[in-house]
Amino acid sequence: MKKRLLLLFSIFLLTVSVPLEAFAYNLFGYRLTNGVGNWGKNRQYYYIHDSAKKYYKSLINRAWETWIHSPHILSTPISFRETTNKKSAVVELSEFYDITSEHDYLGITYFYKYQQEVYPWDTNWGWAKINLNRARLKNLRETDQQGTIAHELGHAMGLAHNMYEFSVMCQFGAGRKTARPLRDDYEGINKLY
């Protein structure tokens, strides 16, 4: 009995004394082929379709700013600017309006290698397209709309969902409580790039 208790106590001590790395961020495993800007040395571009400009242009630009300018004393390589030349963009943002259950989401990101849609857990992608569902977004506060856009931008750069409510990569329906990336979100970007 004493040996058994000693063994259990030893196992307990071993498990609590071994440091484990824990991250709130999840990665798809792959990323944008040409990166996210390399600290301005390789600037990337995003394009806002006319459909999204009317309702979301300022929110899109603010969401990008939250990724580009981190207040957390954590530098990231993210350097994106808006362009009017769709062909030079690696992230496109558009808007649609659909209330059917088939499109029961706030936003969705599609990933492409050339013109072929790919899955971000299978391969790198050359560009991403974000569709924002105005039928669902219109019912949210402006900060939650911005958080949803920042969330989709995180996908475009390679971050997957997590369940940490203070991460922008937590889904709104799962209780996201932030409209901007937090330290772990930026660390996920740094891990990828």
**pLDDT one-digit tens code per residue, 115-146:** 999 999 999 999 999 999 999 999 999 999 99
What is the pLDDT at residue 22?
52
Looking at per-residue confidence, does 4 or 76 come out higher? Answer: 76
Lowest mean pLDDT among 8-12, 82-86, 164-168: 8-12
What is the pLDDT at residue 11?
40
For 160, the token pair is: 């997957």
Query: Which pTM was predicted?
Result: 0.87
Looking at per-residue confidence, does 176 or 73 come out higher? Answer: 176
SS3 27: strand
What is the pLDDT at residue 38?
94
Going across the sheet that includes 107-113, the strands are 80-83, 44-48, 91-96, 127-133, 107-113, 116-118
Q: Look at residue 90 and tell me whether its pLDDT is greater than 70.
A: yes
Domain 24-192 sits in CATH 3.40.390.10: yes
